[in-house]
Structure 1
Amino acid sequence: MNSAVLRPVAAVAAALLLTACTTDSGPEAESRIGDSGEVTLTVWDQELVGGQDVQMEKLNEAFHRKYPNVRIRRVKRSLEDLRKALHTARVSDSPPDVVQVNQGHADMARLVAAKRLRPLDSYDHIYGWSKRYPKGLLDINSVTPDGRTVGSGSLYGVSLNGEIVGIFYNRKKLARLGLRPPSSWAGFERALAIAKDHGEVPISLGNRQPIPVTHSFGVIQDQVAGKRAVRDLFFGRGGSWTDAANLRAARTLQEWVRRGYLVAHPGKLAYDDDAFAAGEGVFLIGGTWFASGLGEHMGGDVGFVLPPPARAGGAPTTMGGESLPFAVTAESEHPDVAAAYLDFISSPQAMDVVTEAGLLPALRPRSGRPRTAVLKDVFAAWDTLSRTDGLTPYIDNATPTFPDVLGNALLGLVAGRTGPRDGMAEVQKNYAAFLTARR
């Protein structure tokens, strides 16, 4: 979508004013959707992997059963292609009504500033999302109308899945090495050394794209710098990418590669779950969205644990939160139907579908329970982080261009093309320029 070819802002504001004046309750709104005639709702998403695709197909089918007059036109794209389309696509004969948008300054804030997304506050009065979601999860999907501040302002999307970046492990390999899932950071690094000494790949890394190495760095950073410092850095409340803690995290990442703890596949793997499922690696640093596929391929041989704290017995912390939210575009011709769709996919019944698909739901399901051992681990980890307030934001969304800037710097560290100080200096340069421009 391009701001130059969107509907005039006045038209969007008028539509929002009409919506805000409605006194519909949830059931009344549902009745109105059913009486709205034949509608095609175009939905763009990036739920391509295993259970992610399954959950969307099932939810879309269920929505159509509830509203037979609404047909879902689903367009699936990779995250990279989706991001590109969101920022460059022009109005066509069938513009999207609902889109998944990455949180933070990289995508959501930019689109909000360009008036390409519709604020959902008026629909929240109808459906009560602010009562359904914890404030912390709502804040992740909130932006001020000018796009300058993430974490406050209006709500622009609702998320389907909870997400944790943690450590998957091969139970059989750990047992053969005489190891247990690590409970401290020092114990984890000892396990990496033991695995390497016994001829195992401690952690395999796909580095055709920057996301895997960014997540590996983020896990290290959380333990070295701590959650408060990481949160402050993300939200622009203080700190620097060249401070002692972040330089230490960068050095640790590079040192893991030099010691053979983190084994990269140059240009070979976009991610590393396939190699891990096939038996390469004792550990895999990755998101809980892999739990369904890994459980299917590895059965009871795969487990999941939170990154162990730097201090034994301390509270765990790691990056995560919730999946890319579904948002309503400003150019949607069916915003009321789109809002009903968002409400449907965030309902307790929808969370049952998510659980049955082998994924972590953002909210407590109505009756669904995890069926596989690894998903039980994931649910337990989510409960722990919720109790201890242990989640940190996805750091690659700290500025509009950070996914590429940070990712390329970290890929340079892994490949040995740059050192920690030079790599983090480039990252800080981008970050500082963004903060200056935002003032």
Structure 2
Amino acid sequence: MTLRAVKKPVLTAAVAAASALLALSACAPGGGGGDDEGKEAQPSDIETDVASMGDVTLSVWDQEVRGGQAAQIEALNAAFEKKYPNVTIERTSKSFDDLQKTVRLAITNDDPPDVVQVNNGRADMGQFVSAGLLQSLDGYADVYGWDDRYPESVRSTASYSKDGKTFGEGSLFGMPQVGEMVGLWVNKQKLADLGLEPPQTLDDFEAAMKAAKAAGELPVQLGNAEAWPAIHDFGVAMNQYVPRDDTRALGYGREGASWTSDENVQGADLFKSWVDAGYLTPDFNAVPNDTAWRNFAKGEGVFMIGGTWYQADLEAAMGDNLGFALPPVGPVGEPAVTGGTGLPFAVTDASDHADAAAAYIDFITNADAMKVIQENGGLPVVDGDAGSATGVGAEVIAAWNGVTEQDSLVPYLDWATPDMSDLLGQELQKLSAGSTDTAAFLDALEKNYTDFTGQNE
């Protein structure tokens, strides 16, 4: 990425270091090629007969570490090795946060993995694409029929122009297994004790939080020590006022969008009002995310705003007492649900076994794999069957199917710029702690955004 001298983006220390690392990756052993584009296999050159490839060891890095996530990937890995005894999967599994911290180094070292799960956003996949560290999967999509298997709305979340500048269109650089959406996890018994139903509107939700607090209950469980979890609570607040198309423009980093519109001010003020009213966990910026969801599973909190990736663990602890509801619809008058896909599986540019790696990705994302994912409490990105699901899984799949049919999905706000994830998380901690106000908060986001879109032309 070439920066204009007169418009240099605001970079956190972590992102500055990552940018420096990627700039050096052109010279790193096994790395991609800086300004060079990553490899792209042509359909006529792709080998799909894995059994004839000889002995292959595939190094795979993933973040499928929670109960249901780990169970599905372990089952699929075992099935792949059984089908192809000549292939050994050398799996490295890390938590989301640990993967974020280490994957940059992993794909530029002397012995990089073949397959990695990569965050869709500009700070990760976008920078890796621009540095030539990931292979375009367009040829494999043609051979394996991925364009027919996954709708464009799904493929776009892992698509970039080959220079990494344009997000949401261009070449395919990853294939996800699961859908994701942020909604309301509900303690059904606590909600029933309050004489309430899952909220449908913003007024319903605020009345429920007020009633819970008055009854001595914690309205909304939140742990934000890592800074990113509150982005989801903030997103729900923003979606009450900001039109879907405006959120999409912001999330995909498109020039002309703005963080300082009247609707964004209303959304930020709403989030701050929830903090000030004591509706969220006390001192939530000091509470780790894992502590928070485990506390919710133990019965602390009427609601928890979070993604569908919590389903398996919460259901294991709460059983039939766990419910899931889509976020309420506010004055904007249209449903908007933050989400997209789980981290896509990508093939590194340095992989010596790209055809085997692509065959592996095809295997773990095919129709049979979707059944395994659903059986283990995951949300299949396609082919989910609410009728065959039980418990909260049926609620989640039905909600996902409705959201995708109604085109209600909006992207994660921290996808907007390469360093928006860090910046937004840090600024939200300051806003919730009272060390900044909503105007200064949004101004900081706006400056970062306009600096980036101005130099990304």
Q: TM-score, normalised by structure 2?
A: 0.89
The separation in 1 between residues aligned to 2:387 and 2:154, in whole angstroms, is: 22
**Which moved further from structure 2: 416-425 or 34-43?**
416-425
| 2:324 corresponds to | 304
Instruction: Summarize deviations over 1:364-416 as a string: whole Å, max 9, x none.
Output: 05x79654321111011111101210000011111111110001111111222
Q: Give, in angstroms, the shift of residue 88 of structure 1.
A: 3.0
Matches within 5 A, 1:316-327: 316-327=335-346
The separation in 2 between residues aligned to 1:416 and 1:240, in whole angstroms, is: 23
| 1:385 corresponds to | 403
Amino acid at match of 1:21: S
1:332 equivalenced with 2:348 (yes/no): no
| Cα 1:223/1:131, change in 2 over 3 Å | same
| 1:280 corresponds to | 300
Amino acid at match of 2:411: P
1:248 equivalenced with 2:271 (yes/no): no
**Which SS does the other structure have where 2:281 is aligned?**
strand
The separation in 2 between residues aligned to 1:240 and 1:399, in whole angstroms, is: 13
Do the aligned partners of 1:208 and 1:266 also contact (CA within 8 Å) in 2? yes
| 2:104 corresponds to | 87
Aligned sequence identity (%): 42
Q: Give, in angstroms, the shift of residue 50 of structure 1.
A: 1.7
1:411 equivalenced with 2:429 (yes/no): yes
Equivalent in 21, 42, 52 of residue 44 of structure 2: 21
Supply the RMSD in Å over aligned alpha carbons.
Answer: 2.1
The separation in 1 between residues aligned to 2:121 and 2:175, in whole angstroms, is: 14
| Cα 1:370/1:212, change in 2 over 3 Å | farther
Q: Give, in angstroms, the shift of residue 318 of structure 1.
A: 1.0
1:163 equivalenced with 2:180 (yes/no): yes
**Which SS does the other structure have where 1:284 is aligned?**
strand
Amino acid at match of 1:78: S
1:132 equivalenced with 2:132 (yes/no): no
**Which SS does the other structure have where 2:270 is aligned?**
helix
The separation in 2 between residues aligned to 1:108 and 1:90, in whole angstroms, is: 12
**Which SS does the other structure have where 2:441 is aligned?**
helix
Equivalent in 113, 116, 125 of residue 130 of structure 2: 113
Instruction: Summarize deviations over 1:112-139 as a string: whole Å, max 9, x none.
Output: 0000000011111110100000111011
**Which SS does the other structure have where 1:42 is aligned?**
strand
**Which SS does the other structure have where 1:223 is aligned?**
coil
Do the aligned partners of 1:355 and 1:370 also contact (CA within 8 Å) in 2? no
Equivalent in 93, 118, 121 of residue 101 of structure 1: 118
Q: Give, in angstroms, the shift of residue 239 of structure 1.
A: 2.6
Amino acid at match of 1:83: Q
Unaligned segments of structure 1, at least 5 residues:
none
| 2:278 corresponds to | 260
| 2:213 corresponds to | 196
The separation in 1 between residues aligned to 2:345 and 2:427, in whole angstroms, is: 30
Equivalent in 26, 49, 52 of residue 3 of structure 1: 26
Equivalent in 352, 371, 376 of residue 352 of structure 1: 371
Q: Give, in angstroms, the shift of residue 290 of structure 1.
A: 0.8
Q: TM-score, normalised by structure 1?
A: 0.93
Number of aligned residues: 429
1:205 equivalenced with 2:222 (yes/no): yes
Q: Give, in angstroms, the shift of residue 224 of structure 1.
A: 1.2
Instruction: Summarize deviations over 1:75-134 as a string: whole Å, max 9, x none.
Output: 112223322323233655532000011112121111000000000111111101000001
The separation in 2 between residues aligned to 1:404 and 1:8, in whole angstroms, is: 25
The separation in 2 between residues aligned to 1:371 and 1:259, in whole angstroms, is: 38
1:361 equivalenced with 2:380 (yes/no): yes
| Cα 1:15/1:430, change in 2 over 3 Å | closer
The separation in 2 between residues aligned to 1:287 and 1:391, in whole angstroms, is: 13
**Which SS does the other structure have where 2:240 is aligned?**
helix
Do the aligned partners of 2:335 and 2:408 also contact (CA within 8 Å) in 1? yes
Amino acid at match of 1:98: V
Instruction: Summarize deviations over 1:111-168 as a string: whole Å, max 9, x none.
Output: 0000000001111111010000011101111100010001111000100001110001
